[in-house]
Structure 1
Amino acid sequence: GNAEMSGIGNLLLMTEMLLFFSPLALFGWYKADVYEARISLRSKLSVFDIRSVQCFCCQAKHVLPNGESIPCDRRFVEEGISLWFGKDGREGLSAFNHVMRTQLNASIAARLGKETVMPLPQMLVLGSLLAWVSPGNVFLTPKPLINNICFAFDAVWLPAALVLADSTAGIAMQAMHRCNFPWLRLCTALVYMIILVPAFSPDLVLQDPTLSFLTKVIVFVGFCGSAL
């Protein structure tokens, strides 16, 4: 009856939204790619040793294919590092290793933020693209007041929902990575989409515009509070 038709309609609407937001799944894939790269970088920096860095001249035994001898770049670089970092009785190469393992690693983390969330500039770009979409729906067709309030509120809700979905997908991605779950990029993209659609439109799940609006307000206030 009506309930069955309503269920089919909601399913079709959910499918339509999945197709509409499917390009955002690419960001889920990209998110996992960046996450693995940053984890690898952090791991390598934590055990960095200038003495084990490879260089072409030493690998070629300081002789070019045409037989011409070349100077040792490693010696030149290591002498410079020893001169710059070898102060106050510290051995220069060891001091440089310490800087790479601690200060550089911390600087990268401070600039890029957590590995589980997208960098802020990308989030702002995506959020700004989404913010203007729903308010326009207010003027398309006459709707009850609560629906118009919901649409208008989406101007601030959608960017917040994107951040919430991204953070939640990041937690799931981190758990999968720690468990050595296969196909991390594909699974992260799917999780991203599964979380994103109901986050954008909780009224699909709640079936009540008033309850949906209150849910958005409560979650948004909680999101702002956690950000502060």
Structure 2
Amino acid sequence: MKKLITMIALLSFVLFGCSNAPEQPSDVSAEAPKKSEAVKNYAPNPQVPDDRQLEKAGQTHLDEKGELTLKKTKNVNGIHSIGPIEMKVTDAKVMHLKPDYSLVDYFHTLTHDEEFDFVKVFVEIKNTSDQKVNFAPAAILETSKGEQITWEKDIYLDGLTEEIGPNETKAGNVGFIIEKSDLTHFEITTSDVFSADGKKIEEAEKIQIEF
């Protein structure tokens, strides 16, 4: 497993510029009372409807990207230190998406179903060092139903696997299509942390989230 995580992180390091998501704000005010500037200025995803107003199971949001229904939710607010990376997991959700017809082709690269369930987490990552590093907040996701999914199948593409600069903060979602949504928990394995020249700084961490 360690070899797989290292290979995934190295691949992310080589291909860190491939995401098509808009660049996220990088400055975080030390005096922000509750939310960092990166979180407050998070741009809605171009492929997935905005779920921020969905707080209770059964609630639905409909917009030009499709219809999104919340199935499970958990407020996490856990902070994890992984070498120079400070990673905050804000919330976790299991949702059902009926994509708009205009987006069906996009999702067909990941599933042949016209509608599907997925699990997502909103994360904030900060590089607390004065050097550039490479890090992926979710290299592998494993559900309580035994499904294992790697970072290449993230449906959000919020740019969180790209290089992160000195004292830079990024915020966004990572989400993965799943076959079985009646989860009791899931586990995220982060990537290792690498320096800009590819040297491993810190081992990956496993983060388990219970519903």
What's the TM-score once normalised by structure 2's chain length?
Answer: 0.25
Select the structure that is richer in helix.
1
